[in-house]
Structure 1
Amino acid sequence: MFELIDSKIERRGSSQWDDKLVFATKNIFVEPSAGPGWRSRRSGVQVRFSIPAGGRGDTTIVQEFGPKDYGALAKAMVLSDDRAALKAFATAIALLADEKEV
């Protein structure tokens, strides 16, 4: 599991009376969806975070991105900041190459 350090989740109201930021969290994690002993039998990536529930406690939310969505995510990343996105892709490819050589 990897922590996303430059991301945030915001919850806003949907009415004209409640259109201000209600809550933001910085405790966001990403992990592979599939693998031995993992929660999902499907391949993909899960983004996981918690927000305060309506009553007491927290609500955990999991967003799963399947492999068919990787292209859309990559395009959005490149359009947002092409240098940062390409650097991240290159780092990931280099790590994968190092693992395969071992």
Structure 2
Amino acid sequence: MLINNNIQAVTGAYNVSSTGSARRNGSVDRAHKADEVVFSNEAQSFSNMLQKIRGMDESRAEKVEALRQQVADGTYEVNGKDIADHLLNARF
């Protein structure tokens, strides 16, 4: 092999070929690995609760009808203190 004082060209060609093979080898390794997803206990618990909620009726028809009748009759009364207590207990 004859090199005409052009060492930069030779080393440049060597660098391109060696990095190219390294990239190819890395992509082959990645192709053989399978992706894996692991859910935390909290995520699994949330998923279970969500499935139970989805299985429930959206509203309790009897209670909704009773409240509708009370509002129509004018007998439905709201206690502000009870509402505030429930909001505070639910929040804290």
Compute the TM-score of the two structures, normalised by the length of structure 1.
0.20
Q: Which has the higher strand share?
A: 1
In our comparison, the structure showing a higher alpha carbon Rg is: 2
- The structure showing larger relative contact order (alpha-carbon pairs under 8 Å, at least 6 residues apart) is 1
Compute the TM-score of the two structures, normalised by the length of structure 2.
0.22
